[in-house]
Structure 1
Amino acid sequence: MGGSLLRGLSQSGKYTLIACDLDPTARENAAPFCDRTTDDLKVAAEADIVIIAVKPDLVEPIVSDLHLDPEQTLLTIAAGVATDRVEQHTDATVVRAMPNLAADTQNMAAAVTKSTVTDEIRSILDIVGEYVEIDEAQMDIATAVNGSGPAFVFYLLGAMRDAGIEGGLSPDDAEVLAAQTFKGAAETVLRSDRSIDELIDAVCSPKGTTIEGMNVLWDSTADEAVIEAVRAAERRSKELASE
């Protein structure tokens, strides 16, 4: 996730970006998208905005070693790690966000804590996609919907691609058609004033092809499976918090 943010932000040219990691391979991968790489936390601690993108159990020990001051902002993106827990280990302004991998292409969906978000963080999130400001208590479900959500979408996209292949399309053609269809449908939802149900109706003509396919979906438990996948991810986010 840190790498995705780095790649997305690098396209703007608006920031001096420094990647800090102990792993030389990670630094090598980050180098094309930043101004400098380092394995020294003291260098990272000099930044006005510090983004910490590590496994949840590493957040608190690393933040404790960063030694930030009240004029700095710390953005955390670890699942299950509450803002108040991080605040115990730093003097910086702590903002919690849950972005997703589409930051890579500046198409990210993110949720951010509205009680602590700053204009600086809003500017960063604006560059790499869309975001909503939510209560801290809603972060677990946001983690499931937009943080884990890309994997669920990839799964469904793969199913549509496979159907195309089974019907005779080449794998490449089927993947392009399925992926662009998901992309176009998502853009339509974001740009349209119509509800999702109204958009479905707009595609379905009486006795046409789409209504035949939708009848299969409406008669299935596909929606229940997706909801349960999101709920499972939400439960795991809560477990991480308690752990």
Structure 2
Amino acid sequence: MGSALIKGLHRSGNHTVIACDLDPDALESVADYVDRTTSEVSEAVTDADVVVVAVKPDIVGAVLSDLDLSPKQTLLSIAAGVPTDYVEARTDANVVRVMPNLAAETGDMAAAVTGDDIPEEVRQLLDAVGEFAEIDEAQMDIATAVNGSGPAFVFYLIQAMAEAGVEGGLEESDAETLAAQTFKGAAETVLRSDRSTEELIDAVCSPNGTTIEGMEVLWDSNADADVAAAVRAAEERSAELAAEFGDENDA
């Protein structure tokens, strides 16, 4: 996720980015997309307006213990399942929690963000790599499932459509292009249109046409329930992770 964010910010060209990691391979992988790399935490964060913590949840505490931030700085946490109050208890910085997704790399990110004070610098950063919604902390588990885990669910559906195309005689690369671009175009239509998704479905379905025949199969299936179940499972896991950090705060 951190790498995707770095590459997206590089594409925008409007931010000075310093990458910090103890793993030289990780730094090498993003070296072409940042102003400089370092393994020294103090060098990376001393003059930064926004410090992004993009690590696995189980090492967040260790990373925070190495950060000496001031109240004038903002710490942007993108560690899945780590509650804002856990981070706030371990830093003097203003804490903003965000759940982005991998599409930040291409400037098409969907992100959920929460915090008592979301500064303009953070809004500009997120705007540079996609769209974001400001939500309450209590909604972060479901947001994590919808937009954080969601790309994998969409990849699965793209794969299913592409495989159907291949079975029908399309070349694999052509089927994947058509399926992926169809998802991209449909998503843009939803974002730009004032019509509901139900209305958009009706707009594509001509009476006695091809689309309505396919939709009848979907309407008669459990596809919507299965997708909802996948989202709920991801939400429940996010809540479990958050509970573990809550228990640590109470200890």
Determine if the TM-score, normalized by the shorter chain, exceeds 0.5: yes
- Find the aligned partners of 1:156 and 1:12 in 2 and give their Cα distance: 29
Match status 1:86 vs 2:87: yes
- Find the aligned partners of 2:229 and 2:87 in 1 and give their Cα distance: 30
**What secondary structure sits across from 2:169 in the alignment?**
coil
1:50-94 residue CA offsets vs partner (Å, 9 max, x unmatched): 000001111122112111011111000111111111011111000
**What secondary structure sits across from 2:121 in the alignment?**
helix
**What secondary structure sits across from 2:15 in the alignment?**
coil
Partner of 1:27: 27
**What secondary structure sits across from 1:190 in the alignment?**
helix
TM-score (norm 1): 0.98
Superposed, which structure 2 residues align to 1:103-182 within 5 Å?
Answer: 103-182=104-183
AA partner of residue 228 (structure 1): A
**What secondary structure sits across from 1:168 in the alignment?**
coil
Residue identity over aligned pairs, in percent, reads 68
> Which contiguous aligned blocks of 4+ residues in structure 1 show a shift greater than 4 angstroms?
none
Superposed, which structure 2 residues align to 1:1-243 within 5 Å?
Answer: 1-46=1-46, 47-243=48-244
Structure 2 unaligned blocks of 5 or more? 245-251
Range moving further from structure 2, 40-49 or 123-132: 40-49
Partner of 2:248: none
- Find the aligned partners of 1:186 and 1:12 in 2 and give their Cα distance: 22
**What secondary structure sits across from 1:207 in the alignment?**
coil
Contact 2:52/2:77 (<8 A) preserved: yes
AA partner of residue 128 (structure 1): V
TM-score (norm 2): 0.95
Contact 1:115/1:135 (<8 A) preserved: no
1:144-191 residue CA offsets vs partner (Å, 9 max, x unmatched): 000000000000000000000000000010000000000000000000
**What secondary structure sits across from 2:12 in the alignment?**
coil
- Find the aligned partners of 2:197 and 2:115 in 1 and give their Cα distance: 26
Shift of 1:242: 1.4
1:187-219 residue CA offsets vs partner (Å, 9 max, x unmatched): 000000000000000000111000000000000
- Find the aligned partners of 1:153 and 1:114 in 2 and give their Cα distance: 28
Shift of 1:136: 0.5
Matched residues, number: 243
Aligned-CA RMSD value: 0.8
